[in-house]
Amino acid sequence: MTTTDMTLPDAEQTLAALADRMRGAVAFDAKFIGIYSGGAWIAERLAQMIPGEHPLGYIDVSFYRDDFSRKGLKPEVKCTDLPFEVEGATIVLVDDVLYTGRSVRAAINELFDFGRPGRIELAVLVDRGGRELPVEAT
Rg (CA), the chain: 15
pLDDT for 71-127, tens place per residue?
555 557 789 999 999 999 999 999 999 999 999 999 999 999 999 999 999 999 999
The whole-number pLDDT of residue 51 equals 92
pLDDT for 47-58, tens place per residue?
999 999 999 999
The whole-number pLDDT of residue 35 equals 97
- Residue ranges per structural domain of the chain: 11-127
The whole-number pLDDT of residue 1 equals 46
Per CATH, domain 11-127 is 3.30.429.10:
no
Across the range 1-19, mean pLDDT stands at 77
The whole-number pLDDT of residue 67 equals 62
The whole-number pLDDT of residue 83 equals 97
The closest of 135, 54, 52, 53 to 95, measured between CA atoms, is 135
The whole-number pLDDT of residue 124 equals 96
- The region, left, alpha or beta by phi > 0 then psi within -120 to 50, assigned to residue 15 is alpha
pTM: 0.86
The whole-number pLDDT of residue 62 equals 84
